Structure 1
Amino acid sequence: MKVISAPPRPSSFAVAASPGGPPTAPSYVAAPPPVCLFSGRRLLSHLRLAVSSRLHFSKPSSGANGSLEGSSSSSSPGSGGELHPALIPPPRSVQGARVFVALPPDAVGPSGQMPRKKMMGASFRALSAAGVEGVVVECWWGIVEREAPGVYDWGGYMDSVMLAHRCGLKVRAIMAFHQWGTGPGDPGWIPLPGWVLEEMDKEPDLAFADRFGRRNKEYISLGCDVLPVLRGRSPIQAYSDFMRSFRDTFRDFLGVVITEIQVGMGPAGELRYPSCPSEKLIRARIEGELGEFQCYDKYMLASLSACAQKVGMHEWGYGGPFGASNLPKNPEETAFFKSDGSWNTPYGRFFLEWYSGLLLLHGERLCMVADEIFLGTGVRISAKVAGIHWHYGTLSHPSELTAGYYNTIFRDGYLPIAEMFSRYRVALCCMCFDMRDSEESSHPRSSPERFVRQLVYAARKCKLHLTGENSFARLDEQSLDQVVKNSKLYHGGAYETSLSFNYVRMNKHLFDSHNWNRFTRFVKRMSDIQAFRARLDLRGTESFLSSTSFAEDVGRALSYPSGAGNGADAPKAWNNRSLRSSSRPGTTASLLPPIPPQFQSKKKASPFPALSRPDDPDRARELRLEMEKDADRKSEAEERIHDRGRDRDQDGDRDRDERRRSDRERDRDR
C-alpha cells in the first residue's frame, strides 16, 4: 500500500520577535486538511463500524488553542463537529513493565516500501505469543520526505502498522529527524532528505562544527532552529509539518494501535549535541573520548556572542573554552576538564549554562509542537536522553558536558530536562539498563549504574513515565538480570506512573532457540516486576546537586540568547539574586537547576550541608558514594528475595514434574 500525503497546512510556529527568543503559541491559517491518496486496501474501514464506548470529538478550528484542526474523512463539509467511535484496545493484563521490541532500521526500505513482509509477519506473531506488548518503528525523515519538501510517502509504514495490528501488537513510532549509518557505503545508510543535504551544501553552517572546523551532518544545527533556512521553512517548522502529516495519515490508529510517539531531538534521536559521531560512540566509551564542543557554526557563535554581551563579558563570546582538547583522552591532562579546571570558574559556568541552555530550548520547542499536534489523539509523547557514562566518576563529567548535559559533581544536569518534559507530559527514555559497573573494570571512571540511578531519580521526582533501553543487543542472563534490577528502582508505588522497556533491536539471533527461551522468560519477569519493588531512597537529596550562585545569576540571559522581553533585562538581572522567583512559569528559564540552599525560602534543612560548598569535592563524593552503596544494598536485598522465590518455584516445578512422571509410570505398569 502506498500512502502519499500532499503538503500539510502551512505551519506558523512562531517565536519571539528576535532570533532565539522564547517560543510563543502556534497559530494556524485555516486550510483544508491534507489529501491522502490510497491504492489497494481501504484504510481499516471496519474500525469505524466497531462498537465502542469511547468517542472522539473533532471540530475544524483555526485558533491557536492547541486543538486538532480538520476533520476525518467522514466529516461533511461545513459541519460543526462530529463524534467518531473508535476501537478500545484489546484488554491485556500487565501489572509490571511492558516490553516493546524495536524493528531493524531498514524495516522500511529507501524506496518507502516494506520488504520481507512474510518474514516480518512471522516475527510479529512470535513476539505477540511471547507476551511482548508491541514494536518500535522508526519513521525516517530521509525516507518519508525524500522526494521534495512537503511530499510525504507513508506507504511502507502504513503496511507495518497494519501488520502489527493484525498480530495484536501495539506500535511506538519514532519521528527520526537524524541520519543513520556511517555513509553511502554502509548497507544500512539512511541520510537526511536529499533536498536538506542540498541546502547544507549551499550553507555549510547548517551543520554542527567543532573547533577544528569538522562538520557533522547527522542533525541540523540547533542554532538555526527558528530561521527559514530550509527553502522558506525553519527546521522546527519542517519537523512539525512532518509530525502533522503523520497524525493526519494515521489518525484512525492513534490511541488504538499507535500508543506512543517518540520525538527525535538530535543525533541518534537523542536530546544531545553530536560531540562524538554516533557510529563511534561505542568506541568512544572504550577509548574514553572526551568529545568536542559543537558550537563553531556561525549560528551558534552568534548566539554565544550575544549572550556574552548581555552579561558584559564580550571576550567570552568568541568560541568554546580553551584547554578542552579531546586529544589527551585523560581529563586530568586538560586545563578545562581537570578536577580544579576552569569548568568550575565563572567563565566555565557561563559557557556551560549557555551550551546546555540552548539544548534545553531546542527540546522545549519540539515538546511544545508535539504536544500541540498530538493533543487529544490518545498517544503518549516521549523523548530520549543519551547514555554517556564513561566519565561519570570524575568531578567534571567531561563527555557529558560536551554532549550538552551540564552534569557535574555539584550539579544535576538531568533534573532540568525531566522538569521540562513534565510540563509537556513527555515520557523519558534512557539507555544503559543492561550495563553493569563490573563490566567497566578497565575504565574505572565509568559508571553506567550510577548514571541510570540518577535518571531514574529524576523521572520519579518529576513523576514521569520512564522507558528503559538496552545499549547492546545481547540476551545473556547477566544483562537481562540487570535490566530487571534497574527496572525495580522505578517501582516505588508512591504515585501513578509507569515503566516500560524497549529491547533494541530485533534481529535473527533473537529467534535462536536458546536466546528466545531467555527472552520469553525475561518478558514474564518484567510483567511481574511489581511483586518485588526496590526503594530508591536518596533521603531527601533534592538540594544535593545544585548549580552555583553564579550560574543562577546568568541563567535567565543564557536561556534565550538574543530574545526580546525578559531577555532584555539580563544585565539588570546579573546581580539579582531573586531572578528565579520573578521568571515567568512555563519558560525555559524555569528549567534551570534549583536555587542554592542559602537563597531558598525557609524549608526543611538539607541533611547534606557540606554539599553546598563547591570547595569540598572529596566530602561530596564520599556522601554520594555512601548513598549509592545504601541504595545498592537495598536493591541486592530485593534481588535475593526474588532469587529465593525463583528457586522455590523451580523446586516446585521439579517436584511436580517428578510426581507426574511417577504417576505416568504407575499407570503404564497397571
Structure 2
Amino acid sequence: MSSDCVLFRLCFLSDVYLSVLIFRCRIPLPRWVVEEINKDPDLAYTDQWGRRNYEYVSLGCDNLPVLKGRTPVQCYADLMRAFRDNFKHLLGDTVVEIQVGMGPAGELRYPSYPEQNGTWRFPGIGAFQCFDKYMISSLKAAAEAVGKPEWGHGGPTDAGHYNSWPEGTQFFRKEGGGWNSPYGEFFLTWYSQMLLDHGEAILSSAKSIFHGTGVKISAKVAGIHWHYGTRSHAAELTAGYYNTRFRDGYLPIARMLARHGTIFNFTCIEMRDYEQPQDAQCAPEKLVRQVVLATREAGVPLAGENALPRYDEMAHLQILHAASLNLNDGKDDGREMCAFTYLRMNPNLFQADNWRKFVAFVKKMNEGKSGNRCWEQVEREAEHFVTATHPLVQEAAVALSH
C-alpha cells in the first residue's frame, strides 16, 4: 500500500495522547507490487474512463493469489507480522499505537479524489473506483444474487466526472437521481460493503498479530465534508461511505471497528461550517457530530486530527470543543477523544506567536473536561514554558528549515 506518511512524536498528556506530525513523505507501493500491476493493470483501482490508480491495490482482488502466489490481504498481514517481530522490544512502550492503513493515504476509503496531476480539485465529487475486472466480477455476482444481472456490468456511468457537482450529474441530482433508486441502493450497498469487508479482513489480521503486545490499533476514516449538505452526499458515496440524508454511513464503520477493538480516527476536527465554501454545502461540524454519535452508539473510542495546518486560536478552540465530545444533547457520557494528532511540525509552528498558542493549546487539551482551572492560569503557565524553551525552539526551527 502507498501512503502520505509522517513521523511523529508522542507526548503523554493525562489520559490523552497528542501526536505531532513532523513532515510529509510519500511511500509508494513496493516496486515488485508495481511490476505485478504492470503485468495485470486490473490490480489497480480503475475508473469508468480506464484511468488506473497506483495508490493502493484494488480491494476487488483481496482474497485472490495475484501477488506472486499470495493474496493482498496475506501480504498486508506479512508486513504487520514482520513489523511486530522486528520492533517487538518497542511495542507497548515506545510504540503505543499502530494505525493500520487500509487505503490511499492510509485511510479506509477508495481513491475517489486523487490530487495527482490535477485529476481532482476541491470540492469535486470524485469518481467511483470499481471498473477493474476484479471489482466488476464481484459486482456481477452480487447482481445475479438479487436476480438483476443487468446491474452487474459496471458502476454508474452517469455520475459525472471528478470535478463535477451533484446537481450537474444525472446520478447524484436532488430530484430523480439514480442514487435514490433501487439500482442506486443496490450498487451503493455493494460498493460500501466491499470497503467494510476489506476493513474486516485487515483488522482481523492486525488484531491477531498484535495481540498481547500492549499496542492499540487504530484506523483512519476520511473527513469528506464537502457536499455534506446535499441529499446524496456525492463525495462521500464515491469514496465508499454510504452516507446520505436518509442513511447513516458511519455507524456500520464504527461497529466494524468496534468488533476488532480498533480506535476510530477521524479528521477535519478543526474546521467550522462557516469557514468553508457555502456553495459547496460543506459542513464539517455536522459531519463530526454524526461521527461522534456513531462512535458513541457503537462503543468505539474516537481519536481526531486536523485536516489542514492551522496555528490560530480559532482552530485550537474548535479542536478543544470537538475533543470534549460534548454534543449538548443531554447524553454526555463523560467520554473524551482518546487521542489527537496535530498537523504539523514545521518552521511555521515554531514562530514565536504560533508556538505560544500551541503550548497553551496542549495545556488546555491536558486539562480536558476534568480541568477546573481558569484558562488565564493556563495561559500564564504557557508563557513561562515558552520562555524556558526559547533556545530549543529556535534550534528546532533552524533544523526543520534545512
- Fold match (TM-score > 0.5): yes
Residues 280 and 488 of structure 1, relative CA distance in 2, 3 Å threshold: farther
1:521: which partner in 2?
Answer: 360
Output aligned runs, 1:218-257, within 5 Å.
218-257=55-94
Higher relative contact order (CA 8 A, sep 6+): 2
Superposed displacement of residue 496, structure 1: 6.8
Distance in 1 between the 2:136 and 2:227 partners? Answer: 27
1:315 aligns with 2:150: yes
1:261 and 2:181 are equivalent in the alignment: no
Cα offset, 1:467, TM superposition: 1.1
Q: Are 1:530 and 2:385 counterparts?
A: no
Correspondence 1:271 to 2:190: no
1:487-506 equivalent positions in 2, closer than 5 A: 487-489=323-325, 494=333, 498-506=337-345
For residue 375 of structure 2, what is the aligned residue in structure 1? 646
CA 1:301 to 1:489, structure 2 compared with 1: closer, same or farther past 3 Å? same
Matched, 1:468 2:304: yes
In the alignment, residue 199 of structure 1 is paired with which amino acid? E
Please say if residues 331 and 337 of structure 1, whose CA atoms lie closer than 8 Å, have aligned partners that are also in contact. yes
Matched, 1:104 2:26: no
Cα distance, 1:328–1:240 mapped onto 2, change above 3 Å = closer
How many angstroms does 1:481 deviate by? 1.2
Q: Contact conserved, 1:473 with 1:505, CA < 8 A, in 2?
A: yes
* Residues 419-455 of structure 1: per-residue CA shift (max 9 Å, x gap): 0100110000010011111111443511111111111
CA offsets per residue over residues 48-82 of structure 1, 9 Å max, x none?
A: xxxxxxxxxxxxxxxxxxxxxxxxxxxxxxxxxxx
Structure 1: which amino acid aligns with 2:178? S
Per-residue deviation, 1:327: 6.3
Deviations along 1:480-511, one digit per CA (max 9) or x if unpaired, are: 11111111225976267752100123222222
Tell whether the 8 Å contact from 2:295 to 2:301 is kept in structure 1 after alignment: yes
Alignment of 1:34-183 (within 5 A): 94-95=14-15, 97-106=16-25, 180=26
The 1:242/1:195 distance shift into structure 2, 3 A limit, reads same
Query: 2:363·2:378 contact (CA, 8 Å) conserved in 1?
Result: no
Checking the alignment, whether the CA contact within 8 Å between 1:488 and 1:532 is kept in structure 2 is no
Compared CA separation, residues 231 and 483, structure 1 to 2 (3 A): same
**2:193, 2:160 → 1: CA distance?**
22
CA distance in 2, matches of 1:100, 1:268: 17
Alignment-derived partner of residue 215 in structure 2: 379
Other-structure match for 2:135:
300
Q: 2:198 is matched with which residue?
A: 362
In the TM superposition, what is the alpha-carbon distance from 1:474 to its structure 2 partner? 1.9
Equivalent residue for 1:335, pick from 149, 170, 173: 170
Q: d(CA) in 2 for partners of 1:226 and 1:247?
A: 23
Distance, in Å, in 2 between the alignment partners of 1:357 and 1:411 is 14
Mapped to 1, the partners of 2:144 and 2:130 lie a distance apart of 17
In structure 2, the CA distance between the partners of 1:312 and 1:297, relative to structure 1 (3 Å rule), is same
**Change over 3 Å in CA distance of 1:497–1:302 after alignment to 2:** same
TM-score by length of 1: 0.52
Structure 2 gap segments, 5+ residues each: 1-10, 384-402
The Cα shift of 1:479 comes to 1.0
Q: Distance in 1 between matches of 2:242 and 2:192?
A: 6
Show structure 1 runs of 4+ deviating over 4 A.
Answer: 278-283, 490-493, 495-498, 647-654
TM-score after normalising by structure 2: 0.86
CA distance in 1, matches of 2:118, 2:102: 17
Distance 1:99 1:212, change over 3 A: same
Cα drift, residue 99 of structure 1: 1.2
Q: Is the 8 A contact 1:207 1:216 kept in 2?
A: yes
Confirm or deny: 8 A CA contact 2:114 2:120 kept in the other structure. Answer: no
Q: How far is 1:102 from its partner?
A: 2.0
AA aligned to 2:151 is W
Q: Distance in 2 between matches of 1:423 and 1:311?
A: 28
Q: 512, 516, 529: which one pairs with 2:351?
A: 512
The alignment-based identity, stated in percent, is 50
Please state if 1:413 is matched with 2:249.
Answer: yes
SS of 1:501's equivalent in the other structure is strand
Which residue is 1:566 aligned to?
A: none
By how many angstroms is 1:325 displaced? Answer: 1.1
Contact 1:271 1:384 in 2 (8 A): yes
- What residue is the counterpart of 2:42 in the other structure? 205
Question: Per-residue deviation at 1:238?
Answer: 0.7
3-state SS of 1:530 partner: coil
Superimposed CA distance per residue, residues 287-309 of structure 1 (whole angstroms, 9 cap, x where no aligned partner)? x2111110100000000001101
Distance 1:424 1:311, change over 3 A: same
Corresponding residue for residue 196 of structure 1: 33
**Aligned residues of 1:463 and 1:495 also touching (Cα < 8 A):** no
| Superposed counterparts of 1:381-400, under 5 Å | 381-400=217-236
